[in-house]
Protein backbone atom coordinates (compact mmCIF):
# COMPACT_ATOMS: atom_id res chain seq x y z
CA UNK A 1 0.00 0.00 0.00
CA UNK A 2 1.30 3.45 -0.90
CA UNK A 3 0.96 6.29 1.58
CA UNK A 4 -1.04 8.47 -0.80
CA UNK A 5 -3.62 5.69 -1.25
CA UNK A 6 -4.38 5.41 2.46
CA UNK A 7 -4.14 8.83 4.04
CA UNK A 8 -3.67 9.74 7.68
CA UNK A 9 -7.25 11.02 7.85
CA UNK A 10 -8.50 7.41 7.85
CA UNK A 11 -6.73 6.83 11.17
CA UNK A 12 -7.73 10.06 12.93
CA UNK A 13 -6.76 11.02 15.60
CA UNK A 14 -3.70 8.82 15.15
CA UNK A 15 -0.76 10.26 13.29
CA UNK A 16 0.73 7.90 10.70
CA UNK A 17 4.33 7.59 9.54
CA UNK A 18 5.28 5.51 6.53
CA UNK A 19 8.29 3.96 4.83
CA UNK A 20 7.05 2.60 1.51
CA UNK A 21 8.82 0.57 -1.15
CA UNK A 22 9.88 2.12 -4.43
CA UNK A 23 8.17 -0.77 -6.21
CA UNK A 24 4.41 -0.26 -6.15
CA UNK A 25 2.45 -2.77 -4.09
CA UNK A 26 5.57 -4.27 -2.54
CA UNK A 27 6.48 -4.39 1.17
CA UNK A 28 6.66 -1.23 3.29
CA UNK A 29 5.85 -0.42 6.93
CA UNK A 30 3.72 2.15 8.75
CA UNK A 31 3.48 3.27 12.37
CA UNK A 32 0.37 4.86 13.90
CA UNK A 33 0.90 7.08 16.94
CA UNK A 34 -1.51 8.25 19.57
CA UNK A 35 -1.69 12.05 19.85
CA UNK A 36 -0.76 11.57 23.52
CA UNK A 37 2.72 10.31 22.57
CA UNK A 38 5.36 12.97 22.08
CA UNK A 39 7.42 12.12 19.01
CA UNK A 40 11.04 13.28 18.93
CA UNK A 41 12.22 12.02 15.54
CA UNK A 42 11.47 9.70 12.60
CA UNK A 43 14.06 7.76 10.61
CA UNK A 44 13.35 5.76 7.45
CA UNK A 45 15.68 2.97 6.34
CA UNK A 46 19.07 1.83 7.60
CA UNK A 47 21.30 3.68 5.17
CA UNK A 48 21.61 0.48 3.14
CA UNK A 49 21.34 0.93 -0.63
CA UNK A 50 20.59 -2.75 -1.21
CA UNK A 51 17.39 -2.90 0.87
CA UNK A 52 16.22 0.62 1.79
CA UNK A 53 14.27 0.90 -1.47
CA UNK A 54 11.99 -1.86 -0.16
CA UNK A 55 10.78 0.25 2.77
CA UNK A 56 11.55 -2.28 5.48
CA UNK A 57 12.63 -0.24 8.52
CA UNK A 58 11.01 2.72 10.25
CA UNK A 59 12.25 4.15 13.57
CA UNK A 60 10.21 6.49 15.75
CA UNK A 61 11.99 7.98 18.74
CA UNK A 62 10.29 8.95 21.99
CA UNK A 63 11.46 10.35 25.30
CA UNK A 64 12.16 7.01 26.96
CA UNK A 65 12.64 4.53 24.08
CA UNK A 66 12.93 4.02 20.32
CA UNK A 67 10.43 1.93 18.37
CA UNK A 68 11.88 -0.03 15.44
CA UNK A 69 9.20 -1.16 12.99
CA UNK A 70 10.63 -3.83 10.67
CA UNK A 71 9.50 -6.12 7.86
CA UNK A 72 12.34 -8.51 7.07
CA UNK A 73 12.63 -10.01 3.56
CA UNK A 74 11.38 -13.52 2.85
CA UNK A 75 13.92 -15.98 1.46
CA UNK A 76 11.22 -17.39 -0.88
CA UNK A 77 10.28 -21.00 -1.50
CA UNK A 78 13.27 -21.78 -3.75
CA UNK A 79 15.53 -19.62 -1.56
CA UNK A 80 15.90 -17.20 -4.45
CA UNK A 81 16.20 -14.27 -2.03
CA UNK A 82 18.23 -15.97 0.69
CA UNK A 83 21.28 -13.79 -0.01
CA UNK A 84 19.11 -10.69 0.20
CA UNK A 85 17.61 -11.90 3.48
CA UNK A 86 20.99 -12.65 5.05
CA UNK A 87 22.40 -9.32 3.91
CA UNK A 88 19.44 -7.54 5.47
CA UNK A 89 19.82 -9.52 8.69
CA UNK A 90 23.50 -8.67 9.00
CA UNK A 91 22.93 -5.01 8.23
CA UNK A 92 20.00 -4.84 10.65
CA UNK A 93 22.16 -6.09 13.52
CA UNK A 94 24.73 -3.43 12.75
CA UNK A 95 22.04 -0.77 12.53
CA UNK A 96 20.67 -1.72 15.96
CA UNK A 97 24.15 -1.30 17.42
CA UNK A 98 24.25 2.20 15.96
CA UNK A 99 20.84 3.00 17.46
CA UNK A 100 21.98 1.83 20.89
CA UNK A 101 24.75 4.41 20.84
CA UNK A 102 22.03 7.03 21.18
CA UNK A 103 21.47 5.83 24.73
CA UNK A 104 17.83 4.77 24.63
CA UNK A 105 16.33 1.27 24.99
CA UNK A 106 14.79 -0.33 21.90
CA UNK A 107 11.43 -1.92 21.16
CA UNK A 108 11.38 -3.92 17.90
CA UNK A 109 8.07 -4.87 16.29
CA UNK A 110 7.17 -6.57 13.04
CA UNK A 111 7.40 -9.53 10.71
CA UNK A 112 10.91 -10.99 10.92
CA UNK A 113 10.03 -13.92 8.63
CA UNK A 114 11.77 -16.38 10.96
CA UNK A 115 10.35 -19.07 13.22
CA UNK A 116 13.03 -19.10 15.90
CA UNK A 117 12.51 -22.38 17.75
CA UNK A 118 10.76 -25.65 16.94
CA UNK A 119 7.79 -24.62 19.08
CA UNK A 120 7.33 -21.62 16.80
CA UNK A 121 5.87 -23.60 13.91
CA UNK A 122 3.54 -26.57 13.63
CA UNK A 123 5.81 -28.78 11.48
CA UNK A 124 9.48 -28.14 12.37
CA UNK A 125 10.73 -31.47 11.03
CA UNK A 126 9.31 -30.95 7.57
CA UNK A 127 10.51 -27.35 7.31
CA UNK A 128 14.16 -27.50 8.32
CA UNK A 129 15.29 -26.77 4.76
CA UNK A 130 12.57 -24.25 4.01
CA UNK A 131 12.58 -20.46 4.04
CA UNK A 132 11.85 -19.04 7.47
CA UNK A 133 13.28 -22.00 9.39
CA UNK A 134 16.74 -22.31 7.88
CA UNK A 135 19.64 -22.78 10.34
CA UNK A 136 21.23 -19.49 9.31
CA UNK A 137 17.97 -17.60 9.77
CA UNK A 138 17.40 -19.11 13.19
CA UNK A 139 21.01 -18.39 14.18
CA UNK A 140 20.49 -14.75 13.28
CA UNK A 141 17.40 -14.62 15.47
CA UNK A 142 19.40 -16.07 18.36
CA UNK A 143 22.08 -13.44 17.84
CA UNK A 144 19.44 -10.71 17.73
CA UNK A 145 18.05 -11.79 21.10
CA UNK A 146 21.54 -11.94 22.60
CA UNK A 147 21.91 -8.25 21.84
CA UNK A 148 20.08 -7.19 24.98
CA UNK A 149 16.56 -8.06 23.77
CA UNK A 150 13.73 -10.17 25.15
CA UNK A 151 11.00 -11.94 23.16
CA UNK A 152 8.04 -10.35 24.94
CA UNK A 153 5.51 -13.04 23.98
CA UNK A 154 7.69 -15.77 25.49
CA UNK A 155 7.74 -13.91 28.78
CA UNK A 156 4.14 -15.08 29.22
CA UNK A 157 3.63 -18.12 26.97
CA UNK A 158 6.21 -20.89 26.77
CA UNK A 159 4.24 -23.65 25.09
CA UNK A 160 3.69 -24.52 21.42
CA UNK A 161 0.63 -23.90 19.28
CA UNK A 162 0.90 -20.09 19.26
CA UNK A 163 1.28 -18.77 15.74
CA UNK A 164 0.93 -15.45 13.90
CA UNK A 165 0.84 -16.58 10.26
CA UNK A 166 -1.07 -19.29 8.37
CA UNK A 167 -1.21 -20.26 4.72
CA UNK A 168 -4.35 -19.07 2.94
CA UNK A 169 -5.03 -22.61 1.73
CA UNK A 170 -8.43 -23.86 2.86
CA UNK A 171 -8.54 -25.38 6.32
CA UNK A 172 -4.95 -24.54 7.29
CA UNK A 173 -5.79 -21.81 9.77
CA UNK A 174 -8.73 -23.74 11.14
CA UNK A 175 -6.36 -26.60 11.98
CA UNK A 176 -3.84 -24.12 13.37
CA UNK A 177 -1.04 -25.21 11.04
CA UNK A 178 0.97 -22.04 11.41
CA UNK A 179 4.20 -20.20 12.07
CA UNK A 180 5.17 -17.61 14.66
CA UNK A 181 7.12 -15.08 12.60
CA UNK A 182 5.79 -11.77 13.97
CA UNK A 183 7.48 -10.52 17.11
CA UNK A 184 7.71 -7.80 19.70
CA UNK A 185 11.21 -7.66 21.17
CA UNK A 186 11.89 -5.35 24.08
CA UNK A 187 15.13 -4.11 25.54
CA UNK A 188 16.02 -5.90 28.77
CA UNK A 189 15.99 -2.49 30.42
CA UNK A 190 12.25 -2.32 29.69
CA UNK A 191 11.34 -5.93 30.49
CA UNK A 192 10.00 -5.16 33.97
CA UNK A 193 7.57 -2.65 32.46
CA UNK A 194 5.89 -5.26 30.26
CA UNK A 195 2.45 -6.19 31.60
CA UNK A 196 1.38 -8.61 28.85
CA UNK A 197 2.06 -9.68 25.28
CA UNK A 198 -0.42 -11.80 23.34
CA UNK A 199 -1.68 -12.91 19.92
CA UNK A 200 -5.19 -12.40 18.52
CA UNK A 201 -5.61 -15.36 16.12
CA UNK A 202 -9.38 -14.86 16.07
CA UNK A 203 -8.87 -11.55 14.28
CA UNK A 204 -9.37 -12.24 10.58
CA UNK A 205 -8.73 -10.07 7.52
CA UNK A 206 -5.11 -11.13 6.93
CA UNK A 207 -3.01 -14.28 6.79
CA UNK A 208 -1.24 -12.79 9.85
CA UNK A 209 -2.83 -11.99 13.18
CA UNK A 210 -2.15 -9.03 15.48
CA UNK A 211 0.49 -9.21 18.21
CA UNK A 212 -0.14 -6.85 21.14
CA UNK A 213 2.04 -5.64 23.98
CA UNK A 214 0.96 -3.76 27.09
CA UNK A 215 3.77 -1.94 28.82
CA UNK A 216 4.43 1.27 30.71
CA UNK A 217 6.36 3.81 28.65
Say how many domains are in the chain: 1
Residues in CB range of 167: below 8 A, 6 or more apart: 173, 177, 207
Q: What is the pLDDT of residue 10?
A: 78
Cβ–Cβ < 8 Å for 143, 103: no
Residues of the chain scoring pLDDT < 70:
1-2, 5-9
- Count H helices and E strands in the chain, helices first: 2, 12
Q: What is the pLDDT of residue 77?
A: 85
CATH at 93:
3.60.10.10
Q: What is the pLDDT of residue 22?
A: 92
The residues that are catalytic are 71, 111
Instruction: Give the domain extent around 49.
Output: 3-215
Say how far apart CA 208 and CA 199 lie, in whole Å. Answer: 10
According to DSSP H, which parts of the chain are helical?
82-100, 135-146
Q: What is the pLDDT of residue 25?
A: 83
Q: How far is CA 176 from CA 15, 146, 179, in A?
A: 35, 30, 9
Q: What is the pLDDT of residue 3?
A: 73
Q: What is the pLDDT of residue 130?
A: 96
Cβ–Cβ < 8 Å for 32, 8: no
Maximum C-alpha span of the chain = 47
| pTM listed for this prediction | 0.95
- What is the rounded end-to-end Cα distance, in angstroms, of the chain? 30
Residues in CB range of 100: below 8 A, 6 or more apart: 106, 148
Q: How far is CA 72 from CA 34, 109, 137, 141, 176, in A?
A: 25, 11, 11, 12, 23
Amino acid sequence: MQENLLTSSLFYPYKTYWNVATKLGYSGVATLLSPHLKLISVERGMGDKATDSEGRVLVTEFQSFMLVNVYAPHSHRKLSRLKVKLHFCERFLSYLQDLRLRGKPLVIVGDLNVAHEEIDLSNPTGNKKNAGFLPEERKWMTTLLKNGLVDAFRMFYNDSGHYTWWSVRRGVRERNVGWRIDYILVDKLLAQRVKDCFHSPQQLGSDHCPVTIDFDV
